[in-house]
Amino acid sequence: MNRELRVAAYAVCVREGRVLLARWVAPDGAKRWTLPGGGMDHGEDPYDTVIREVEEETGYAVEPVRLLGVDSITRRYPRRLGTFADFQGLRVVYEGHITGGELRHETTGSTDLAAWHPLEAVPRLDHVELVDTGMELWRTRPAVGRVALPGR
């Protein structure tokens, strides 16, 4: 079994009762909403990662204003030739403030749309669990930077 670690940084950007989300396109073509952000490049600081990723996925310039927390997940994924990957995702979640740019959609990445959604509509959206984690971090701002969600 291969061990894989992915470190990524994401932003919770809330403005006028709406949250900015990007629509992720899974390898199988399924589409679900997620927080804007993504994987760190080797040697990159997570602060710089979130700035780069939000711009790539949404067109906006963002200023990370607060570290909300760090989320860790583990998954087992099938790989080629009947093998499996023991995957761990380490997600650094910031509160982000939009400072410029214009909303646009990513054309060559893992997302295909970016949009502002009313906070009260988020639970009804088809979304990844990172959205729930990020919103709970934003709402509760736990001192230890970690939230307990159902099923985890």
Q: How far apart are CA 60 and CA 53, in angstroms?
A: 10
How close are the terminal C-alpha atoms of the chain, in Å? 23
pLDDT in tens, 118-146: 999 999 999 999 999 999 999 999 999 99
- Which parts of the chain sit beneath pLDDT 50? none
Q: Is the pTM of this model over 0.85?
A: yes
Contact by Cβ (8 Å): 137, 68: yes
pLDDT at 84 (0 to 100): 86
pLDDT at 27 (0 to 100): 84
pLDDT at 152 (0 to 100): 56
